[in-house]
């Protein structure tokens, strides 16, 4: 069966496009070269010299930082984010345009801070977080408890006050932001970008979240297996 570079698995396409973002789609296409060679042979003409490969470098990923407010901080920095992206590889970085360290959005209705969001096309936002410990109104949902404790947080319901105390020992909140938040948002990006870089979500919220959760879990296990 004839194979074109356009049918390559995403991991191969991503590495190629990440390495040479401005390369024409026909460059180094074996299928195209076979067709051209066949046409030349049938016409009795001379061989066609390969086209010159034009390499252009676009600006790389932009990381934008908004200063945290008093009582808040950005748990991770540029270097930590770039280390995770390097560890995950081109499959997640392909098509990623910006990562932003931003302030908490206004009007959030949850009893926990907002951690991260993915905006099409190719934009990940990581939000500032309160300084530890956190005194959160109400009791935490089971999913939040699992995610917090997986990163090393200490959770204590405050009896009689309908509140929850969350403490983040040193290094645990950065781990949470990288392994539970950044990897999850990268999962959203992988699914979205694979489906044609559309400017609207290409799956139901439930399906988008399920894919992002599976992606984050696989990457987290691989990173920890490598000792990351």
**Over the stretch 65-89, which tens digit does the pLDDT of each residue have?**
999 999 999 999 999 999 999 999 9
Which pLDDT does position 25 carry in this prediction?
54
My answer on whether 147 and 107 are in the same domain is: yes
Q: Give Cβ neighbours of residue 113 (< 8 Å, ≥ 6 apart).
A: 104, 127, 129, 130, 134
Residue 217 has pLDDT above 80, yes or no: yes
My answer on whether 95 and 201 are in the same domain is: yes
Q: Mean of the pLDDT values across residues 38-44?
A: 51
Q: Last residue of some domain: 28, 57, 86? A: 57
How many Å apart are CA 125 and CA 130, to the nearest integer? Answer: 16
CB 120 within 8 A of CB 200: yes
My answer on whether 132 and 203 are in the same domain is: yes
My answer on whether 154 and 208 are in the same domain is: yes
My answer on whether 100 and 174 are in the same domain is: yes
Task: State pLDDT tens for residues 134-168.
Answer: 999 999 999 999 999 999 999 999 988 889 999 99
Which pLDDT does position 40 carry in this prediction?
47
My answer on whether 49 and 71 are in the same domain is: no
How many Å apart are CA 18 and CA 215, to the nearest integer? Answer: 20
The residue segments making up the domain with residue 27 are 1-57
CB 16 within 8 A of CB 9: no
My answer on whether 75 and 17 are in the same domain is: no
pTM beyond 0.95, yes or no: no
Q: How many domains does the chain have?
A: 2
My answer on whether 52 and 71 are in the same domain is: no
Residue 49 has pLDDT above 90, yes or no: no
How many Å apart are CA 173 and CA 190, to the nearest integer? Answer: 24
């Amino acid at each position: 069966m004839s194979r074109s570079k356009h049918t390559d698995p995403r991991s191969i396409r991503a590495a190629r496009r990440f390495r040479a973002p401005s390369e024409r789609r026909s460059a180094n296409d074996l299928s195209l070269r076979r067709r051209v060679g066949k046409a030349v042979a049938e016409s009795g003409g001379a061989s066609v010299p390969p086209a010159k490969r034009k390499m252009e470098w676009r600006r790389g990923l932009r990381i934008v930082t908004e200063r945290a407010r008093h009582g808040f901080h950005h748990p991770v920095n540029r270097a930590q984010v770039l280390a995770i992206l390097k560890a995950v590889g081109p499959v997640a970085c392909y098509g990623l345009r910006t990562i932003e360290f931003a302030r908490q959005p206004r009007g959030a209705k949850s009893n926990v801070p907002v951690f991260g969001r993915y905006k099409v096309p190719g934009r990940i936002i990581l939000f500032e977080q309160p300084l530890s410990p956190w005194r959160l109104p109400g009791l935490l949902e089971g999913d939040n408890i699992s995610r917090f404790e997986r990163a090393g947080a200490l959770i204590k319901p405050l009896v009689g006050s309908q509140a929850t105390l969350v403490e983040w020992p040193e290094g645990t909140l950065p781990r949470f932001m990288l392994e539970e938040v950044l990897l999850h948002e990268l999962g959203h990006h992988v699914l979205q970008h694979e489906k044609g870089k559309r400017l609207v979500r290409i799956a139901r919220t439930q399906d988008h979240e399920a894919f992002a959760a599976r992606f984050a879990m696989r990457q987290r296990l691989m990173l920890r297996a490598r000792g990351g």
